Amino acid sequence: MSNMDIQHPRAGGSEIGIYEVGKRWVKLGHDVAVISSRFKGAPKYSEVNGIRIFRKGGRYTMYLKAKNVYKRHFEGRVDLIIEDITSIPFFTYVYFKGPIIVTIHQLLKEAWFYELPLPLAAFGYLIEESLLRLYKDKPIVASSESTKKSLLEAGFDRKRIYVIPPGVGELGILHQGLHKLPDAERDRLQLLYMGSMMRYKRLADLLKAMVFVLKEVPEAKLVLAGRGHPDYIWRLKRQAVELGIKGSVYFAGIVSLEEKIHLFASLDLHIGKRGFRKFSSRSRSLPNPVHRLRCPWAEGCHPRR
């Protein structure tokens, strides 16, 4: 169960993780299905690399409708349910009495206030830990030590939390022979942000910081790669114009595997907020310097070099 699937326009690291693990389970002979929300233009049913995807409801209503999908297509035929909790639980334990595993990448905490209107954000912020504690007796898979720490602070049993770092996937496995581009082939200092472009990632602050970078290194270039809501990306582009840095900021959008390889080979610094462990693992598989950020979301990453 996941709020979004791999084909959703706003799919990010969590959805990629579900897809990458799921398609490997399919190859091992298992039947894998995902129940997620429906987005504009999406069919109610899809199949991607053997993973069956059932879509019902919108971003928030799907939590109420997921039960109906389960009852209609899966009741009595499921061995295990995995709940991927990003903000709101599915409460599958109410109607499914078999084994349930919960995956949590991070607690939203202050991120609520970047993504929702104030009243809803305050409500989500106040009830988040209480809702998660309903799963205290379930095994929890956390993607980092910092997430484990947040769960412990929320009252979870240490013995039920398993930290499983994200894999590096094709980017690291298929291109281990890649070498960083020689300085002669790189005409300017290049900074890279790669990931979902959402308000809580605070990319507006990154653009403000770029103003100071350009004062010291006028030829520097910032590349923003990833998918995001068109309105938010438009605001970022407008901010770049207002700050006078339009010529030094490139919005790459969704990039192919080959484009990712080129970006990683030519960058000087990889920038990120949440999900730092994932992209540090990715960068570590390629010849890039990776610097450990001294902040909570970078806990559990390899030592700074």
DSSP 173-232: HS-TT--PPPGGG--S-EEEEES-B-GGG-HHHHHHHHHHHHHH-TT-EEEEES-B-HHH
Residue 266's closest CA among 213, 203, 208, 194?
Answer: 194
Contact 189, 301 (CB under 8 A): no
What length is written for the chain?
Answer: 305
Mean pLDDT (the chain, rounded): 83
The three-class DSSP label of residue 140 is: strand
**Burial class, 9, CB count within 10 angstroms (exposed 0-12 / middle 13-18 / buried 19+):** middle
Q: What is the pLDDT of residue 186?
A: 52
CA–CA distance, 85 with 102 (Å, rounded to integer): 7
The three-class DSSP label of residue 61 is: coil
Top mean-pLDDT range of 106-120, 139-153, 188-202: 139-153
**Burial class, 42, CB count within 10 angstroms (exposed 0-12 / middle 13-18 / buried 19+):** middle
Q: Which residues are paired to 85 by β-bridges?
A: 104
Enter the DSSP assignment of 3. S
Q: What is the pLDDT of residue 190?
A: 86
- Residue 178 pLDDT greater than 60, yes or no: no
Q: What is the pLDDT of residue 99?
A: 97
Top mean-pLDDT range of 11-15, 34-38, 166-170, 254-258: 34-38
CATH number of 175-298: 3.40.50.2000
Q: Which of 89-98, 177-186, 189-198 has the lowest mean pLDDT?
A: 177-186
Percentage of the chain beyond pLDDT 70 is 82
Backbone angles phi, psi at 31, to 5 degrees: -95, 115
Region 164-173: mean pLDDT is 66
The residues of the chain that CATH labels 3.40.50.2000 are 13-169, 175-298
CA–CA distance, 35 with 23 (Å, rounded to integer): 15
Q: Which of 114-118, 235-239, 246-250 has the lowest mean pLDDT?
A: 114-118
Residues 32-55 have pLDDT tens digits of 999 999 999 999 999 999 999 999
In CATH, 13-169 is 3.40.50.2000 = yes
CA–CA distance, 286 with 289 (Å, rounded to integer): 9
